[in-house]
Structure 1
């Protein structure tokens, strides 16, 4: 993306069906993926495209919207993990079938190719896949590398292909430090990076913090950015911006939390039974899940320290509280874990402050403790 792109736009598509028809297509696709019926799902989407639904609408406003619903239903404990994975697999197959539809074919690619890739450790590749298909439909040459691509392999691909840009996707914010490594590595070889995905925040704040050349909130916006083109990264300016945005890392608190993660989880789990008596009757499986939850808190604390955002950990805990509540697990059990972590990290100002703010935010979500003898878990 050395200059404004001259990539031709896709042919004008037929007008979309009325809103009610689009809602009907989404509902029929939802019922198909919920039931695990791949053929019905494919027939629903391809039939709608045959009837005049624009390809990009089918990709983003039908498949993308239903996939988002799958995530909501899982969080609400109305879908199992297996059902969620099956739905995602069906959507992948439907996208592949749609990719060969005559109306999907866009103009011949002009200019260099765009590499669409998920951050190392990120297994949620469907958003990136949807972007890749939308870019192809708009006449961009695309290399879709899929999920979980280690940075050395990404850089090697850029050297071999001469990509003009990287569209970097991350869904889970735990991957932000790795995303920073990827952004820096791509820019070091002269390739600009467009960041996208829920991990970068609804306003792209973390994309800016990590020094990405651009950010897009969705696939349509990403196409607009890539159509305009991005300037080649200036190594000196990029390095100066990274140093400025991440100057807080000099206190080594992030590094320390990552290095002592195992100890922090172990110590918190060992003392949690004293602070949360219902845990004494937990099964081995429940204790294992509790350890996993504590590990997630420590991991999100580390990333909060990395990006220096006081709202990062509270936002994760609000989401976690909702997930636990849907599974009849008292969200109040999170507070003792936060307190115990705070005691272990009391000599680290940013970590201590982040945990205090997280507890305060969580407190607003929780009902008042029941009085002793009430028979309810406090």
Structure 2
């Protein structure tokens, strides 16, 4: 555990974009004997939750959120360097002689910190890890699998709108026989979404990944294609997110008023979440997204009539997707 006073000092450095100061605090608590997990969860994780809460409450701008996140990322990279300095030559050679773990984010998933924290944790446990970072395209994943021949691909997704892209990573990795472990806030605790997209396994907690790896098969068959009507709607909707977003924006933007721009900025996520709900046959994704968007609007004093207009415009845009339209209606 990390003392509250230390958490507050670390948070103060994050707030002031002081990467050097944040790293100094981490070095001190490491010297005092705090385990890596305590730092990742008690300092970095705690600070990042505060960052997200402040953005959600409209107390911080996106730019300030990104700056604070960058400090946390600098700290985790610093921890990775410290981890490498702790490992002796024999451990390094042993790790190099085994297939690495490949850690990636889904395409268009920019929340890389959870994957980076997982990478640090796995490296501290002695694993060789190839970390690709945020927004990893299918082509980049194909190349990485060919280059690294990984034991497993671990895919991180924080947003439900990333789930269709996670499915593409599952298809890519399993086509080469590589197991896929998924995790992150985009997934439900029961594992429904992970199963529906064909993942080999789901990690509910980063601390469980090490033990989970031991249970995975060495090779897996390629996942079969998804040919349901819902899957076809999901892929078609995702391909048309740009035009649909433009149409929703044109209809709603003229209303003006506080919070309207911020709400409209989330329309691509809303459409992507609907695609994910279709792909996984999980209508709760739509309900969660509606509740979340309403909270974003309320925090920014967006009029409820404007929020209603956004949902009406989204519904209009999915007129050609009968299953998607039904999901929106059920969540209204």
Q: Do Structure 1 and Structure 2 share a fold, with TM-score over 0.5? A: yes
Structure 1 counterpart of 2:38, from 57, 63, 69: 57
CA 1:94–1:348: 2 relative to 1, 3 Å = closer
CA 1:135–1:25: 2 relative to 1, 3 Å = same
Report the equivalent of 1:257: 237
Q: Distance in 2 between matches of 1:263 and 1:85?
A: 27
Report the equivalent of 1:76: 57
Q: 5+ unaligned residues in a row in structure 1: which ranges?
A: 1-18, 274-278, 360-378
Q: 5+ unaligned residues in a row in structure 2: which ranges?
A: none
CA 1:164–1:249: 2 relative to 1, 3 Å = same
Structure 1 counterpart of 2:208, from 213, 221, 228: 221
Larger radius of gyration: 1
Q: Could you tell me whether the CA contact under 8 Å between 2:164 and 2:275 is conserved in 1?
A: no
CA 1:192–1:312: 2 relative to 1, 3 Å = same
Find out whether 1:354 has 2:314 as its counterpart. no
Deviation at 1:259, TM superposition (A): 4.9
Structure 2 counterpart of 1:142, from 114, 117, 129: 129
Secondary structure of residue in 2 paired with 1:177: helix
Structure 2 counterpart of 1:34, from 3, 8, 15: 15
Find out whether 1:231 has 2:226 as its counterpart. no
Deviation at 1:189, TM superposition (A): 0.6
Which structure 2 residues correspond to residues 122-133 of structure 1 after superposition, within 5 A? 122-133=109-120
Normalising by the residue count of structure 2, what TM-score does the alignment of the two structures yield? 0.87
Give me the CA root mean square deviation: 2.7
Cα-to-partner distance string for 1:293-340 (whole Å, 9 max, x where unaligned): 444433322222222211111101111211221111134422233234
Q: Distance in 2 between matches of 1:163 and 1:355?
A: 40
Structure 1 counterpart of 2:67, from 71, 86, 89: 86
Q: Could you tell me whether the CA contact under 8 Å between 2:102 and 2:154 is conserved in 1?
A: yes
CA 1:344–1:75: 2 relative to 1, 3 Å = closer
Q: Distance in 1 between matches of 2:215 and 2:86?
A: 22
CA 1:99–1:345: 2 relative to 1, 3 Å = closer
CA 1:345–1:191: 2 relative to 1, 3 Å = closer
Normalising by the residue count of structure 1, what TM-score does the alignment of the two structures yield? 0.77
